[in-house]
Structure 1
Amino acid sequence: MNYTLHQLQIFLKISELQSITKASEELHLTQPAVSIQLKNFQDQFPIPLTEVVGRRLFITDFGIEIAQAAEKILGQVQEINHKTVAYQGKLSGRLKISVVSTGKYVMPYFLSDFMKEHDGVELSMDVTNKTKVVRSLERNEVDFALVSVLPEKLQVYGVELMPNKLFYVSNYQRNFPKSFSKRHLFEKIPLIYREQGSATRNAMESFISHHHFTVNKKMELTSNEAVKQAVISGLGCSIMPLIGIKNALKNQELKIVPIRGLPIITNWNLIWLKSKNLSPAALAFLDYVSRNKENIIKEKFNWIKDF
């Protein structure tokens, strides 16, 4: 047998996602490239690793065992790499962070200089909705999570980073009556929501429920960027985090509609399980954030105070 580490990585990802298409997207490879590597890997075994039933890909029992072995091999290779770097006197290891989708506008700025200082540290950052972020933390799959609303059922430590402000926004061209009520905005204009499990959606629904509004027409989209583009196009209005619409406001694509009771203000928090034994890389990052957060906020996010 003459399979490569690259083939092991590809097959492991296919087995995790049960899809060549999804694996190619996560690995940033073309679908044909992944298919070719899967075939080359399969050709080295006399027993099928996968099977297709009703146009769906399934991993065979033998394939599951090979995937488990591949995971162990790749883990040992990673350990060798980390030990080599550590022997050279550098900080090494993998830093794993799960970030709520709007947090992608925040977290990179707290990571950039740290990663430059410690090139032996590998970064794995998953961007998803709050429900999945909390699940990853609960299952001990990540070192840290970035959330704007603290989970109620988990025992966590946290570092408060900066405010998260949510405003009612429309596209710049939309005209409103000279005098309009909040009820008009929520009952007459289509409202665009994030998907279930999103902290932004939870905040929006809480605000609407508190004011006893009825939303007659709504749409649901699965990312902050998709909501932003939908509002810019004139499909409707939404309550959106300020952090993700800075350029759209500057370019007069969006405008904030002043409403009493808004903005909704929460705080970005970097959290970790109280029971978590943080790795040297995670401890170093936590120390870096604690020492540098004020300077990072001042340099990168001072504009938030203008709203």
Structure 2
Amino acid sequence: MHYTLNQLRIFVAVVKAQSVTKASEELHLSQPAVSIQLKNFEAQFDIPLTEVIGRKIYITDFGYEIAAAAESIIEQVHAINYKTLAYKGQLTGKLKISVVSTGKYVMPFFLSEFLVQHAGIELLMDVTNKNRVLESLESNDVDFALVSILPTTINIEWLDLLPNRLYLIGKAGQKVTGSGDVNELFKDLPLIFREKGSGTRLVMERFIAERNISVLKKMELTSNEAVKQAILAGLGYSIMPLIGIKNELNNHELEIIEVPGLPVKTTWSLIWLKEKKHSHASSSFLEWMKCKKSEIIEHNFNWCAQYR
């Protein structure tokens, strides 16, 4: 047998995702590339690892055994790499972070220089909605989480990073009437919501409920990017975080609509479980954040100050 480490990695991803398409997305590879490597890997075994019924892939019992062995091999390879780097005096280990979806516009800027300086750190970052982020944190599956609304049901510690401001956003050039009165403005305005479990949706619903605003028409989409594209297509308006629309504002594709009571202001915070026993990698990152956050904010987010 001549299977490669890459083939093992692909097979484990397919088994976990129960789908070639989902595995290719997670691995950032094309679906044909994953299918070819999977086929080449399976061809080296006399016993089937998978079977396809209709358009769905099923893992055989033997396939699950091979996947478990493959995962163990991959972990051992990582361990060898870590030991090699550690012997050279370099920081090693895994850094696991769960980030609310809009946080993808924030977290990479706080990670980039740290990861460049510490090549032995393996980053595992999950970008999802607020509910799932908090589930990951509460079950201690991650070292840190990035949120814009602090949870009240979990015992945490946190480090505040930067302000998060949410405005009513529309396609540039679209006329909005009744802007002097909140209820008049929203009366005929088609609104686009994020999915349930999203922090942005929670802020939007609170704003509407507190002012007893009647929503005539609404659409629900499952990501900040999807909402943005819907607004660009002229499908409606939404209350969105400023942090995710920098380019569209600069290019005059989207515009902020002035509304009494907006922006809603929250804070981007890095949070972790109280009394968390940090690994060397995660404790080093936390110290890095405390020392470098002001410099990173000044360099990457000072553009936000022009919007009030």
Could you say which TM-score interval applies, normalised by the shorter chain?
Answer: over 0.9
Is structure 2 residue 50 aligned with structure 1 residue 50? yes
> Which residue is equivalent to 2:166?
166
Residue matched to 2:251: 251
Offset at residue 78 of structure 1 (A): 0.5
Q: Give, in whole Å, the separation in 1 of the partners of 2:156 and 2:61.
A: 38
1:175 is matched with 175
What do the CA deviations read for 1:193-245 (whole angstroms, capped 9, x no partner)? 11121100111011111111221211112211221122122211110001111
Q: 8 Å contact 1:187–1:217 — kept in the other structure?
A: no
Distance 1:234 1:65, change over 3 A: same
Q: Which residue of 2 aligns with 1:304?
A: 304
Match runs of 1:1-307 below 5 Å: 1-177=1-177, 180-307=180-307
Which shifted more, 144-153 or 7-16? 144-153
Shift of 1:165: 0.5
Q: Secondary structure at the match of 2:109?
A: helix
Task: Kindly provide the amino acid, as one letter, of the partner of residue 247 in structure 1.
Answer: N
In structure 2, relative to structure 1, the CA distance for the partners of 1:204 and 1:74 (3 Å cut) is same
Deviations 1:95-148 (CA, angstroms, capped at 9, x unpaired): 121111111111111111111211221222221211221122223222111011
Letter in 1 for 2:243: I
Letter in 2 for 1:149: I
Q: Find the aligned partners of 2:271 and 2:179 in 1 and give their Cα distance.
A: 43
Q: How many percent identity over aligned positions?
A: 58
Structure 2 CA distance for partners of 1:236 and 1:35, relative to 1, 3 Å: same
TM-score relative to the length of structure 2:
0.95
Aligned-residue Cα RMSD (Å) equals 1.6
Q: Which runs of 4+ in 1 moved over 4 A?
A: none
TM-score, scaled relative to structure 1: 0.95
Q: Which runs of 5+ in 2 are unaligned?
A: none
User: Number of aligned pairs?
Assistant: 307
Contact preservation (8 Å) 2:179, 2:259: no
* Closer, same or farther: CA 46–276 of 1 in aligned 2, 3 Å: farther
Separation in structure 2 between the aligned mates of residue 42 and residue 291 of structure 1, nearest angstrom: 49
Secondary structure at the aligned position of 1:35 is classed as helix
Cα 1:41–1:186 change in 2 (3 A) is same
- Check conservation: 2:133, 2:145, Cα contact below 8 A: yes
Cα deviation digits, residues 43-91 of structure 1 (max 9, x gap): 2223221122342112122222221222111111101100100001111
Report the CA distance between 1:19 and its aligned residue: 0.4
Which runs of no fewer than 5 residues in structure 1 stay unpaired? none
Q: 1:179 to 1:293 in 2, by over 3 A?
A: closer
Alpha carbons 1:187, 1:214 under 8 Å: kept? yes
C-alpha separation in 1, matches of 2:283 and 2:242: 30
Could you tell me whether the CA contact under 8 Å between 1:51 and 1:60 is conserved in 2? yes
Comparing 171-180 with 252-261, greater Cα deviation is found at 171-180
For 1:222 and 1:186, locate their aligned partners in 2 and report how far apart those are by CA, in whole Å.
Answer: 22
Structure 2 distance, partners of 1:28, 1:297, is 29
* Separation of aligned partners in 1, 2:303 and 2:31: 42
